[in-house]
Amino acid sequence: MAYLGNPKNTIEALQKHQFHFQKKFGQNFLIDTHVLDKIVRAAEIRDDDFVLEIGPGIGTLTQYLCERARLVAAVEIDRNLMPILTDTMQEYDNVILINNDILKLDLASLIQQYGGGRPIRVVANLPYYITTPIVMQLLEGRFPIASMTMMVQKEVARRMQSGPGSKEYGALSLAVQYYASPAIVANVPPNCFMPRPGVGSAVIHMTVHEKPPVFVEEEALLFALIRASFCQRRKTLFNGLKNLKGFDFTKEQIREAILALGVSENVRGEALSLEQFAQLSNALHRSL
């Protein structure tokens, strides 16, 4: 077995198929076995799990996943990688190779067909330019997912797990934490990849909530409030919400809802916790 976590084997696989990296897909392949071990440990994969892997590349992490899971569905957007994946995964009979864009794939059908009626686990080495859309589609789709373990840009990982008052805290933090409990499990320097990315990376593990940690009467309103609050960070919360799109609240309704939180009218959105945003959303919803 030629494990691809060994840089020599990765180079041989790429040369054998005369593969050329494509910048548009943000391709950076892992070549560090210690990091691979950390990802698999964090994912807590059991032998009866169905794993959805996003961005398998040449199959480096896929090999590790197949040795632990019941079944792995590896979704790769680059058709030029499919011959390499077919080659590197030929010794495994518990992998399904899918050439598709994860944002266009019918995930509900895939999970229903192969999930065995249990929540699945998602593992990914995500292209940094499209991390947020993929994460949010998986979470907002409310698919039966137990956890997501992902390699992302370090800055994005920090934003996902940060809390009120920190400079990284924002709309992404609140959106992710509404659906899941995120925690960074490893920082990964550029030299762990081929080719080396220009930024640091991190592995973040998200345990998906069975139900959100806060009660919200109108989810669309909650997320509209969050987006408006961080659209211009230097604005006060009150000023940010005065032109809330899609909802017709008076200035007095907004002011009363903010003051009901027990905070100043001049508070900024970055100071509010998820629970406070939920309280604000519910207060405004009841005032309609």
Per-residue confidence (pLDDT) for residue 1, from 0 to 100: 61
Per-residue confidence (pLDDT) for residue 175, from 0 to 100: 97
Residue 160 near residue 172 (C-beta atoms within 8 A) = yes
Taking alpha carbons only, the member of 166, 205, 182, 219 closest to residue 38 is: 205
Residue 4 near residue 10 (C-beta atoms within 8 A) = yes
pTM assigned to the model: 0.93
Q: Which of the residues in the chain have pLDDT under 50? A: none
Most distant pair of Cα atoms in the chain: their distance = 68
Per-residue confidence (pLDDT) for residue 129, from 0 to 100: 85
Per-residue confidence (pLDDT) for residue 19, from 0 to 100: 86
Decide if 7-208 and 219-287 have a common fold. no
Q: Which CATH class is domain 7-208?
A: alpha beta
Any idea where the domains of the chain sit in the sequence?
7-208, 219-287
Residue 36 near residue 60 (C-beta atoms within 8 A) = yes
CATH of domain 219-287: 1.10.8.100
Q: Where are any strands of DSSP class E within 189-229?
A: 193-194, 201-208
Q: What span, in angstroms and rounded, lies between the C-alpha atoms of 11 and 7?
A: 6
* Structure-token pair, residue 231: 């659209």
